[in-house]
Structures are given as structure tokens and as C-alpha cells.
Amino acid sequence: MKQVTAIIMAAGRGTRMKSKTTKVLHPVGGKPMLAGVIDSCMAAGINDIVVIVGANRGEVEPFLKNQYQGGNIRTVLQAKQLGTAHAIKSALALKHKFGPVVMLLSGDVPLISPDTIRGLINEFTKEKCGGIICTSKVGNPHGYGRIVTDKKGYIIRIVEENNATDEERAIRLINGGVYVIRTDYLKKYIRQVKPDPVKKEYYLTDLAAIMAEKFIKIRPKIVEYSEVAGINDRVQLQEANVMKNKK
């Protein structure tokens, strides 16, 4: 997939892990979770990979250099932790020739499979839409952003739980945090993301509403929850290892 660039967000220190080791280097299934994401991208045919690092660059960059010697993996520093959209803007500022399609992933979602990545890219190409967002249907959506769709099933916004109405909280379709998007759209509309009025951070999830307002079609792609399960603490780390062992 020479036409696709993967951008992996891995700048968070992960203080909830309560560990001296940065979060994305904790093992799931015997390998650091960041390696799980990278390996799935490579197995799916994506070899142009950009990893966003932060205060953890002193750990992550040596790991990448040692693990992927000669690999086409670049890193970019998100100097200030100002949210996920700010992280992506940091990556796009890199002097790098991005492919016409970008896949956005998180370094703490290690169970996404090569088949799912290939499926997302293939569906994006087939549908000729502006973007696809990986989603999952769960029994208990507590804590996750909810996917709001129109009557045709296209995504019109992603609502975080704290900002959701009672009706929106009842939605069981959650944001999986993996995006496929045309690079030109990403570069254009990421600039329009405004900071959250409370936390003053820029959230990537706001991109869905911005693009929908421009009548750009964004499709949801429903996958198994295990594929998009994020890891923020040691309980979720243990759960991820259990899910990995069941695969």
C-alpha cells in the first residue's frame, strides 16, 4: 500500500500505568504495544509510517531504531501535549511526502489486525468517500465517544461522553480511534479544529463534524471491540493480554 501513510499517536506518557516505562512500550502478547500496531501496519502492506513521540522520545526512538533497523519509520515530536488533533498537526508539519491517503492510529490500541487495516483501506478505496472511522458496537459504551450518524448511516459527529445528551449516551456505537482519510482533506480541515473551551486541547474527534458540515461523506466501519480496545491502565493491559491470548 504505497499510497498510504500511517500516523501513529504515541506521545502520551501514560501516568495511569503507574510505571517508569512509557505506556506504549508495555507488552501485550509478548511484544510492546506500539510494536503491535506497527507490525500490523507492515503486515497489511503499509511501510510508510510516522510515529508521534513526546516526553517519552528518549525511550521510544531508541526502541524503534533497534527494533526496525532499516525500516521506513520516522518520528516527530509533539513538544506540548495539546490533544490528539494537535498531535496530528505536528506530524503533518514534518517535511515528508505523505501518501494521498493517511491512516491515523493510536500506539495504545495494539490488537488491531492486518486484516482489519487492509479492510479499512479497501473499503475506503471502493466507497470513494472522504473518510472511514473504525467503530465497534458494545453493550456498555461507558467512557467512550459515541458515533452519531445521519439517516443514511454516514457519521456526522463524535460526541464524548461528558458532552453527550442522555439520548446520545444510549448510543452503543463507539469511536474506535482509527481513521482513514484523504490527506488533502486532513491537511485542510485539521486546521479548523478549535480548542476545547475547558481543557484548551485540540481533539481529533471534532474533525468528523467539521467534514460532515462540508458534506464530505464519512463511513463507519464496525469491527470487533478487541480490535480497538485502548489501554490506559494496568487493568486494561491485563484485559488486552487476555483478549490477545484468545485470538
Task: Write down the pLDDT at residue 245.
Answer: 84
Q: What gap in Å lies between CA 211 and CA 186, rounded to an integer?
A: 9
Q: What gap in Å lies between CA 231 and CA 117, rounded to an integer?
A: 19
Q: What gap in Å lies between CA 39 and CA 27, rounded to an integer?
A: 14
pLDDT (mean) for 65-80: 89
pLDDT higher than threshold 90 for residue 175: yes
Q: Which residue has the cell 484523504?
A: 182
Which pLDDT band, with edges at 50, 70 and 90, does 1 fall under?
low
- Active-site residue 57, yes or no? no
pLDDT (mean) for 8-27: 91
Residues 6+ apart with CB under 8 A from 151: none
Query: Which residue among 16, 172, 182, 219 is the active-site one?
Result: 16
